[in-house]
Amino acid sequence: MGLIQNVADDGLGGLEHNFLTGRVEELVKWSRSRSSWGATFGLACCAIEMMTAGTAHYDLARFGMEVFRASPRQADIMIVAGRVSQKMAPVLRQVYDQMMEPKWVISMGVCASSGGMFNNYAIVQGVDQIVPVDVYAPGCPPTPETLIHAIETLHQLIEDGQIMRRRELTGAGAQVHIQEISAGITTPVSLGSR
Amino acid sequence: MTTTENITPSQVGDITAAGTNEGRQELQLRKDVSAKEILRGSGAVLRMSESEVAALAGTQSEDQTMIINMGPQHPSTHGVLRLMLELKGETVLRCKPVIGYLHTGMEKTGESLTFMQGGTNMTRMDYASPLNNELVFALTTEKLLGIDQDIPERAVWIRMLLSELNRISSHLLFMATNGMDIGAVSMMLYGFREREEVLRFFQKVTGLRMNHNFIRPGGVAADLPAGWRDEVLNLLDALPARLAEYEILMTGQPIWRERLQGVGVITRDEAIALSATGPILRSTGLSWDLRRDMPYLRYDKVEFDVIVGSYGDAFDRYSIRLNEIRESMRIVRQILDAMPQGDYRIQDKKVTPPPRGRIDESMEALIHHFKIFTEGFKVPEGEAYVAIESPRGEIACYIASDGSSTPYRMHVRAPSFINIQTMPHMMRGGLVADAVAVISSVDPVLGEVDR
Amino acid sequence: MSQSSNQVADDVRFVAKADYLKTLASLRDEGFEMCADLTAVDYLTHPGRNIAPEILGNIKLERFEVVVNLLSLSQRRRVRLRVQVAESDAVIGSAFDLYPGTEAMEREVFDMFGIKFDGHPDLTRILMPEDWHGHPLRKDYGVGNIPVQFKGAAS
């Protein structure tokens, strides 16, 4: 075949323009940024705007994100959309912990970013007190365009590799603790207890 | 489809127990059993605290019932609603809705915001129909101020227009999420497509797509922009054809009917006893709509029908909401014809800030503006309760004031908070898949449930 | 009392705690089929309730007031009951047997104010976590806000 003869003659130069070459890391980062799936964490009014961003007029599908996975095991981005109350905070942390690495968090709306207009006993003043946040999207609620801007910023950070570099430097990221249970235990272990 | 009924108390159910204090002992016909006996005895509500449920874990054997947890993070619970379901196999026996995961302390926050700022707080309760929340707060404040009869006609009709358009957008949201929950996923796209048209109009008028803070005590915040009539007419012309598409996609479709007919049945007595209002009460056959029965704004001047169901099941609630969109469109057409000229807010200096242009010219206007927006206007001491018909039922605001510029106590009677009490009774005996259909047909908005 | 300029004023009745359940039952027989709302108000820091003297002669004003709004569907009218509840004896009868829809409303009042309802089937916290201390809507419970210091502001 002409192609095989070319490669046999010239090595990689014989490939002409039929192949792209690059590093594996680049390829992985490129595909991660273009097919990240969101975890459904719509809490309040921002959830409606998040749903609107996923529907036909604003269309998150063109960014590869139309699928919102309910199971955190299958999700990459957790978009915390809405105000996080004291009762919901442990649930938020639990869902975040169940997500697989690499994972990112977008804090959507002012209530998730800083407590918003509700500076009182019931609302956690900023979801970054509970989970490490990568992108903050302001607005009350942010219009779908703002959310798409936030998602695209995150995608750009993923593609550049900035986020992984930052994690290596500061050690931010999931703090996964493993508690070893000895083999001879007889009392039942309750999983996921509060 | 309207039925005007005169309800007599005897139809509601007689609760005076005869003989023992445990109620009548012999087996009664279903229609003669009172609400009290049904609700105490049938035990549809699971009344166990979380620690008791946790203590049960691991002690249940194979043939016993299982208590599982649905939510709070779940794709189909319409927000952060948590259900503790007691299951026997796939059948739901008892259920306990656990709420509070979105509790924002809005009633406490409302006590530290002035009456002008109160709308920003109220509007985020039922975030699917924010203008109705603002409307009820404004009406209650005006009642306390004593200016509720003096609001200019144009302001009242603008309020009605926005309220009805909000009803359309809220019911479209219901169609979208209901469709998605039952499985017609493309309905999600269609419902939001229609909703975008309405939200675009809101953005033109109020500046925001959601959570507008536009209806304020004294009137509305600004006049309707030029060309609003054409916008509304475009909207009204586009919708009927699309609603007809939904009829083809869903109403006549056998799978849809199988999933919704006979699911989540509630009787009239149960609904009244549980204080359910809105489409849930109307689906049982009782024609009660505050817009017609205790009219507010100018609803007595427009003609519309109240849609009523017959079986009290989820299919009735779906078709009631679909047809309420049509009735709201009818009302909006009448408002278009009847919209008067005039002021968009009351000219009472006590509550209305001066026009923005005047602030540059006059010191008095500047001081007036400053005082209203920083200190707020003082409302006389008293208490008032005003109720309106939101897309979910009767929403009411109870304000107790102490003569200062912030409410002393602000309480909102949220329809979804009360309607959620009907869910265990609707789910009893059904399958887990029907539980999703039931939640969707109750259409709760967790922002107003938890406040 | 409520104010409105030209409309018929609201029907507000002050009821003593001892007569509360009897009044509810008689109103139910009179045709008020639905309890629209049940809530409470904490009058601890209120400057003074403006109530007609002939009513003040019969009832003693207390710190808490339980406010019940009843709705008659057949007669299309509402009535509002205001029941005084003392802080030292913050217990009142439960309306659950008459109006089962008050189950969630009474739980919320218990959660937010600490008023107990005698005869309620499941009086536990509904909005706050089950192990929360304090009753948030009482006037001696702070808003709980965090003072915000803006970056670069002169302190």
Residue C126 lies in a domain: no
Contact status, residue B199 vs residue B261, Cβ threshold 8 Å = no
The contacts of residue B286 (CB under 8 Å, 6+ apart) are B5, B7, B268, B271, B272, B308, C73
* Tokens standing for residue B340: 């008067």
Q: Which of A85, A120, A121 sits opposite B102 (nearest CB)?
A: A85
The closest of B38, B48, B133, B104 to B450, measured between CA atoms, is B104
CA distance A7 to chain B (A): 50
Which chains are adjacent to chain C, needing at least 3 Cβ pairs under 8 Å?
A, B
Element housing A97 (H / E): helix A89-98
Distance CA B263, CA B382 (A): 45
The closest of C119, C130, C26, A108 to B84, measured between CA atoms, is C130
User: Mean pLDDT of all residues in chain C?
Assistant: 84
Residue A140 lies in a domain: yes
Q: Indicate if the pLDDT at residue C127 is higher than 70.
A: yes
Residue A157 lies in a domain: yes
When scoring C127, C137, C138 by the number of chain B Cβ atoms within 10 A, the one with the most, hence best to mutate, is C127
Chain C residue with minimal CA distance to B47? C122
* Strand A77-81 versus strand B382-390 pairing type: unpaired
Residue A189 forms contact with B (CB below 8 Å): no
Q: Which domain holds residue A65?
A: 37-167
Distance CA A49, CA B327 (A): 26
* pLDDT score of B15: 39
* pLDDT score of B451: 86
pTM of the model: 0.85
Residue C3 lies in a domain: no
The closest of B146, B147, B148, B139 to B118, measured between CA atoms, is B139
Residue C147 lies in a domain: no
Residue C35 lies in a domain: yes
Q: For the residues C20-48, what does the mean pLDDT come to?
A: 89
Residue A146: is it exposed, middle or buried by C-beta count within 10 angstroms (0-12/13-18/19+)? middle
> Cis omega (within 30 of 0) on the bond before C53?
no
CA distance A44 to chain B (A): 6
- With CB atoms and an 8 Å threshold, state whether A45 touches B210: yes
Chain B residue with minimal CA distance to C47? B402
Q: Which domain holds residue C23?
A: 12-118
* pLDDT score of B308: 92
The closest of B424, B390, B439 to B47, measured between CA atoms, is B424
> Side chain identity at B215, as an amino acid letter?
I
* pLDDT score of B28: 53
- Which CATH number do you get for residue C29? 3.30.460.80
CA distance A163 to chain B (A): 27
CA distance B430 to chain C (A): 22
Q: Which of C129, C141, C145 sits opposite A119 (nearest CB)?
A: C145
Work out how many domains chain A is built from and give that number: 1
Residue A121 forms contact with C (CB below 8 Å): yes
* pLDDT score of B171: 94
Residue A15 lies in a domain: no
* Tokens standing for residue B284: 């049982």
- Which CATH number do you get for residue A135? 3.40.50.12280
Domain architecture of chain B: domains with CATH:
13-39 (no CATH), 106-450 (1.10.645.10)
- Evaluate the CA torsion angle A150, A153, A159, A162 in order and state its sign: negative
Q: List per-residue pLDDT tens for chain A, 194 residues long.
A: 677 777 777 776 666 666 677 778 788 888 888 888 888 788 888 889 988 888 888 888 888 887 787 788 888 889 999 999 988 888 898 888 888 878 889 999 999 988 888 888 888 888 888 888 889 999 988 999 999 999 999 998 888 876 666 666 666 554 444 455 555 555 555 443 32
Residue C146 lies in a domain: no
- With CB atoms and an 8 Å threshold, state whether B105 touches A88: no
Partners of A68 on chain B (C-beta within 8 Å) are 75
Partners of B396 on chain C (C-beta within 8 Å) are 36-37, 69
When scoring C132, C141, C145 by the number of chain A Cβ atoms within 10 A, the one with the most, hence best to mutate, is C145
Which tens digit of pLDDT belongs to each residue from A113-123? Answer: 888 888 888 88
Strand partners, C68: C38, C81
Q: Which of C129, C142, C145 sits opposite A86 (nearest CB)?
A: C129
Residue A85 lies in a domain: yes
Distance CA C27, CA B374 (A): 44
Distances from the Cα of A121 to the Cα of B361, C114, C126, C146, angstroms: 43, 17, 16, 9
Partners of A120 on chain C (C-beta within 8 Å) are 143-145
- With CB atoms and an 8 Å threshold, state whether C128 touches B103: yes
* pLDDT score of B138: 93
- With CB atoms and an 8 Å threshold, state whether C50 touches B382: yes
- With CB atoms and an 8 Å threshold, state whether C33 touches B15: no
| Chain C contacts to A (CB-CB under 8 A) | 128-129, 132, 136, 141-146, 148
When scoring C61, C74, C107 by the number of chain B Cβ atoms within 10 A, the one with the most, hence best to mutate, is C74
Q: Which residues of chain B have pLDDT under 70?
A: 1-44, 48-63, 76-77
Residue A150 lies in a domain: yes
Partners of A87 on chain B (C-beta within 8 Å) are 100-101, 103
Most confidently modeled of B38-42, C66-70, C147-151? C66-70
* Strand C12-15 versus strand B382-390 pairing type: unpaired
CA distance B46 to chain C (A): 10
Residue A140 forms contact with C (CB below 8 Å): no
